[in-house]
Amino acid sequence: MSPDLDVFLRGRHVGVLSDSTGHLSFQYTPAIMERYGTSSVVLSLSLPVSNDAIVGPRVSSYFDGLLPLENDRYGLAEQHGLQISDTLGFLSILGPDLPGALQIFPSKAAMEPARWDQGFVPKPIFKQPKAAELMIPDLLISEEWALRVARSAGLPAVDACLTVDGASEHLAVTRYDYTPDGEWLHQEDFNQALALPREPMYEDKTSTPSRLTQLTALAKPHMRDPAEFMRTLLRAVTFNLLIGNGDAHSKNYTLLIRDGGEVRLAPMYDVAPTRLLCDATEHAGHALGGERKLSKLTLEHLVQEGTSWGLEQEDARAAAVEVLESAGKAAAREPADDRIDFLSELVPARSEDLLKGGTARDRGPERTSPFHAAYRKLFPSNHNPLHGGPGRRGGKPC
């Protein structure tokens, strides 16, 4: 059995995570109770402050959500003699270096709070495709372009640049959880906020209320400007539909939680036109207006989804239309690598399709590079016939 863990937030001891009965439990400290009061949001929307120890799936969902996917744990498990399901064991190793303002240490081994980040210089996150993503051609170059398009359209999105190491490409992503004045920002993804298990990250039902409706309802009491929060979220959802992002699931949307409990939406990240690169990525990540398939979603689905959160119909429509117009123009304007230059025409065309009330087209001219020919041979039912060739290495370099 792994030892208890001390949980620190912004250098302050907030609670103890333990597993004495085979189930994780979390107990806030008396100091946190006195400072914030019962039911306050400190760590997570799913774990409001309580006098009593919190036990059950929501504790497991939150803390397991801090760890890598199970497939990425095997090497570490073998190295340290851990079971894949040993959340405390993994957190005792990875806890000091979690994203954002949260740190976790074995009890009695924690750093002094005043020294919790002393001398640390945050670095960009270097991203490589996951195993499943290796089947999607030109993913990183497309993600860099999509993030650039989002920022050009006035949407909050992380900055990124491409690095090349021999034949390998990497995407360096600027951290959004560390401010220029040295403040770490606390964060949780939508899965954690809703106390959902890691799987399914993708919403698997179309019944009401939708997952995003549940999220906005849960977060609304803690928003400074609920209407603007909902507009910002709808803009992000609209952009992901426009570019055909089949990776826009609940772990790829994140909340920032300020000291005192106010929540706001983090900048967009993991934004890529996966559907336009690979037919197999059809899921929109969430049910929007009762529809989950990217190929079937329309502007009306977006408006319906926004109104289900509490936006006025015209407000929701204006937010979605604004993104379709501005991002469509930005996609035509932003330079694209030769391998993905078809996106500069396809994404604006998708914008026109959606603005006219229809579904967005998926296809452009046939892709003819040797790589894509081999890809079609291996995956004949999933290939996406789009234009592009090996071309130059482009995108924004580091």
pLDDT 10s digits, 157-166: 999 999 888 8
Residue 392 lies in a domain: no
Residues 96, 218, single domain; the answer is no
State the chain's mean pLDDT as an integer.
87
Residue 393 lies in a domain: no
Residues 160, 271, single domain; the answer is yes
Residue 39 lies in a domain: yes
Cα–Cα dist 83/135, whole Å: 29
Model confidence pLDDT, tens digit, residues 101-153: 999 999 976 445 444 444 444 545 555 555 444 568 899 999 999 999 999 99
User: 85-99, 128-142, 221-235, 283-297: lowest mean pLDDT where?
Assistant: 128-142
- The residue with tokens 């073998």 is 78
Residue 210 lies in a domain: yes
Residue 65 lies in a domain: yes
Average of per-residue pLDDT across 26-45 = 98
Quick one: what percent of the chain has pLDDT higher than 90? Answer: 71
Model confidence pLDDT, tens digit, residues 184-218: 999 999 999 999 988 889 999 999 999 999 999 99
The pLDDT score that the predictor gives to residue 78 is 87
List the Cα angle 302/306/307 in 5-degree steps. Answer: 120
Q: Which two three-digit tokens encode residue 233?
A: 């979220």
Highest mean pLDDT among 19-23, 126-130, 304-308: 304-308
Choosing from 84, 115, 146, the residue where a domain stops is 115
Residue 398 lies in a domain: no
The pLDDT score that the predictor gives to residue 129 is 52
Whether residue 353 contacts residue 240, with contact meaning beta carbons closer than 8 Å, is answered with no
Domain span at residue 161 reads 125-378
The pLDDT score that the predictor gives to residue 3 is 85
Residues 11, 88, single domain; the answer is yes
Cα–Cα dist 9/15, whole Å: 9
Residues 195, 296, single domain; the answer is yes
- Neighbouring CB atoms inside 10 A of 14's CB total 21
Choosing from 88, 115, 142, the residue where a domain stops is 115
Average of per-residue pLDDT across 23-47 = 97
Residues 86, 149, single domain; the answer is no
The pLDDT score that the predictor gives to residue 131 is 47
CATH of the domain at 308: 1.10.1070
Residue 386 lies in a domain: no
Residues 25, 129, single domain; the answer is no
Residues 252, 329, single domain; the answer is yes
Choosing from 56, 90, 115, the residue where a domain stops is 115
Q: Is the pLDDT of residue 223 over 80?
A: yes
The pLDDT score that the predictor gives to residue 396 is 62
Q: Is the pLDDT of residue 219 over 70?
A: yes
The pLDDT score that the predictor gives to residue 76 is 86
Phi, psi (5° rounding) for residue 178?
Answer: -140, 120
Whether residue 45 contacts residue 263, with contact meaning beta carbons closer than 8 Å, is answered with yes
Residues 109, 149, single domain; the answer is no
Q: Is the pLDDT of residue 398 over 70?
A: no
- Neighbouring CB atoms inside 10 A of 138's CB total 25
- The residue with tokens 């025409």 is 345
Average of per-residue pLDDT across 247-265 = 97
Residue 94 lies in a domain: yes
The pLDDT score that the predictor gives to residue 279 is 75
The pLDDT score that the predictor gives to residue 80 is 87
Q: CA dihedral in degrees (42, 94, 25, 203; nearest 10)?
A: 70
Q: pTM (2 decimals)?
A: 0.87
What single-letter amino acid sits at 260?
G
Phi, psi (5° rounding) for residue 27?
Answer: -120, 120
Residues 109, 129, single domain; the answer is no
Cα–Cα dist 77/356, whole Å: 52
Helix axis angle, 139-152 relative to 343-355, nearest 10°? 50
Average of per-residue pLDDT across 351-359 = 98
Q: Is the pLDDT of residue 296 over 60?
A: yes
Residues 327, 206, single domain; the answer is yes
Could you write out the three-class secondary structure of the chain? Answer: CCCCEEEEECCEEEEEEECCCCCCEEEECHHHHHHHCCCCCCCCCCCCCCCCCEECHHHHHHHHCCCCCHHHCHHHHHHHCCCCCCHHHHHHHHHHHCCCCEEEEECCCCCCHHHCCCCCCCCCEEECCCCHHHHCCCHHHHHHHHHHHHHHCCCCECCEEEEEECCEEEEEECCCCECCCCCECEEEEHHHHCCCCCCCCCCCCCCCCCHHHHHHHHHHHHCCCHHHHHHHHHHHHHHHHHHCCCCCCCCCCEEEECCCCCEEECCECCCCCHHHHCCCCCEEEEEECCEEEHHHCCHHHHHHHHHHHCCCHHHHHHHHHHHHHHHHHHHHHCCCCHHHCCHHHHHHHHHHHHHCCCCCCCCCCCCCCHHHHHHHHHCCCCCCCCCCCCCCCCCCEC
Q: Which residues contact 229 (CB under 8 A, 6 or more apart)?
A: 216, 219, 220, 223, 263, 264, 265
The number of distinct structural domains making up the chain is 2
The pLDDT score that the predictor gives to residue 64 is 94
Residues 18, 107, single domain; the answer is yes
Q: Who has greater pLDDT, 383 or 372?
A: 372
